[in-house]
Amino acid sequence: MKPRRICIVGTGLIGGSFAIKLRQKGIASRIIGVDNNVEHQRQALDLKIVDEIMDLDDAVKHSDLIAVTTPVDTMIDLMPSLLDQIDRQVVMDMGSTKGRLVEAISKHPKRGRFVATHPMWGTEHSGPGAAVDQGAFKNKSAVICNAFESDADAISLVKWVYKRIGMRLLEIEALEHDLHVAYVSHISHITSFALANTVLEKEKEEKTIFDLASGGFESTVRLAKSTSTMWVPIFAQNRDNILDVLNEHITQLRKFKSCLEKENYGYLIELIENANRIRKILK
């Protein structure tokens, strides 16, 4: 079934970029936006990201597919009542954590109409103005979690949409997903926030930072531009996994610190060359 009317709940970077791709690929005949932020509503309309803005109740009635792209704490509060309102529509989320969300609705009578997903794409920017066309989602992984809990037609529809916008599909269990993204996504953001705070604390001359910052520094702290509104709920929901990753990360940092303190440059070479093995994975 090709969805004719698609509702985007949350018209920021992910929701806005998703809407742009839906329109570009001719997937939807009408895109309805839902957003509590009045300025985001205006921008989404002005930028033609959505065709109209509705409140959630009306949007659900007029949609075939509902994509929820709000912060993950909002999703947990919203999803049960959203499922209460649907008939045969399909609801999908696009959040970065999955365990608590699928648990929150596991007993819902309309659980089968929901598909838990995580498109592995994003930037450090936020809001409708950050929505992009070029490069969004293409050739990135779209993770579908606990597909066995969703109706076959709902899974089929969501897979079709993701394939149409150029994504690769991956199915995984929700708790396993949260473990892996702690390592490949969430720790990167914490590291970036911490490094930015380190530099801001130690280097008081902002002009010096601006003048001397190299490409390496800029790429490492790029994620530090991400908003607390999005990332604090993610860190809170995936707390246990992130703490495990942080402990290992701190251990690795201490190894580098010890090498420099003891002038053990032979072991420092080993640490760096071991890290170089990532090249074989990330080509």
Residues β-bridged to residue 8: 33, 67
Domains, the chain: 5-173 (3.40.50.720), 177-280 (1.10.3660.10)
- Amino acid, single-letter form, for residue 190: I
pTM: 0.89
How far, in Å, CA of 185 to CA of 177, rounded?
11
Segment 156-170 shows an average pLDDT of 97
> Could you read off the pLDDT of 88-123 as tens digits, one per residue?
999 999 999 999 999 999 999 999 999 999 999 988
What per-residue confidence (pLDDT) applies to 194? 93
Task: Indicate the average pLDDT of the chain.
Answer: 92
The values of phi and psi at residue 98, to 5°, are: -130, -30
- Using only the alpha carbons of the chain, give its radius of gyration: 21
Strand 141-145 with 168-172, pairing: parallel
Residue 277 DSSP one-character state: G
- Nearest in space to 170 (alpha carbons), one of 116, 89, 124: 116
Which has more pLDDT, 200 or 35? 35
What per-residue confidence (pLDDT) applies to 214? 65
Over 110-164, what HEC string results? CHHHEEEEEECCCCCCCCHHHCCCCCCCCCCEEEEECHHHCCHHHHHHHHHHHHH
Residues β-bridged to residue 5: 30
> Could you read off the pLDDT of 120-143 as tens digits, one per residue?
998 888 889 888 878 899 999 999
How far, in Å, CA of 273 to CA of 252, rounded?
14
> Could you read off the pLDDT of 230-279 as tens digits, one per residue?
999 999 999 999 999 999 999 999 999 999 999 999 999 999 999 999 88
Model confidence at 74, pLDDT cuts 50, 70, 90, reads very high
pLDDT at 73 over 80: yes
Model confidence at 212, pLDDT cuts 50, 70, 90, reads low
C-alpha distances in Å from residue 193, one per residue of 6, 218, 228, 234, 245: 35, 12, 10, 14, 15
